[in-house]
Chain A
């Protein structure tokens, strides 16, 4: 039972263009979402988060959008840079229910072409 799904295993984007990574979830109790970036042979590093009380959070080139009715979130990277090439994981948690366990998606490998 995959509660958090990233249906695109990979994505290629030209440098300078927008990258859009998608994530769907099934558990309506999820109220906190994060995106992590992972380079090969390294651990994931935190990128950006969003609480369910918001529908958008922005940090520099990175913006996360949350559509609660569709149970969908997306990460926008504008403009994309070659250094953004990595695997991106979304993660979700039902913090309001008293749990702090995160459920991770399977990841999307982004390749930014110079």
Chain B
């Protein structure tokens, strides 16, 4: 099992550009999450999904969109990138949402200049 994989590992965007961060898990988990981690801060939840076709906002959803067409994939879309979106983005998944740990991908380091 590869677990949770994320692509790309690094990306530099110009202000106003768009991009999609890819996340795939092969553990057949229904629950998937996107977090961002800013320097010196904890992880903040951007969006989460409880299954294919169902997504909901987390703490910091502005400037992002998600979709969940399959159990395996949970891409995060940035439209009109801004410097405030410079961060490290982590995707995670879990088998059950309650009383279970989340499995994290290796992260995508995004810089918006």
Interface residue A106 (Cβ < 8 Å from any Cβ of B): yes
Count the B residues whose beta carbon is within 8 Å of the partner chain — how many?
A: 25
> Given that A32-B99, A43-B90, A101-B48 are contacting pairs, would A89 and B42 also be in contact in the complex, using a CB cutoff of 8 Å?
yes
Which one, B58, B103, B105, B106, contacts A101 given CB within 8 A?
B58
Does A51 have its Cβ within 8 Å of any Cβ on chain B? yes
Encoded as 1 (CB less than 8 Å from any B CB) or 0, chain A from 1 to 30 comes to 000100001000000000000000000000
Asked if B53 is at the interface of the complex by the 8 Å CB criterion, the answer is no
A49 at the interface (CB under 8 A from B): yes
The interface bits of chain B over 90-113 (1 if a CB of A lies within 8 angstroms of the residue's CB, else 0) are 101010011101111111000000
- Complex CA gap A51/B4 in Å reads 26
Contact of B42 among A41, A42, A105 (CB under 8 A): A105
The number of chain A residues touching the other chain, given as a range, is: 20 to 34
Q: A43-B4, A43-B107, A100-B31 are in contact. Are A106 and B101 (CB under 8 A)?
A: no
B45 interface hit (Cβ, 8 Å): yes
Kindly list chain B residues whose C-beta atoms are within 8 Å of the C-beta of A45. 104
A-B contact pairs, 21 of them (CB 8 A): A4-B42, A9-B40, A32-B99, A41-B107, A43-B105, A43-B107, A44-B43, A89-B42, A89-B43, A95-B98, A95-B99, A101-B45, A101-B48, A101-B59, A102-B45, A102-B102, A103-B42, A104-B44, A105-B42, A106-B40, A106-B42
Known A42-B107, A43-B106; further 5 A-B contacts with Cβ < 8 A: A44-B43, A44-B104, A100-B31, A100-B97, A102-B45
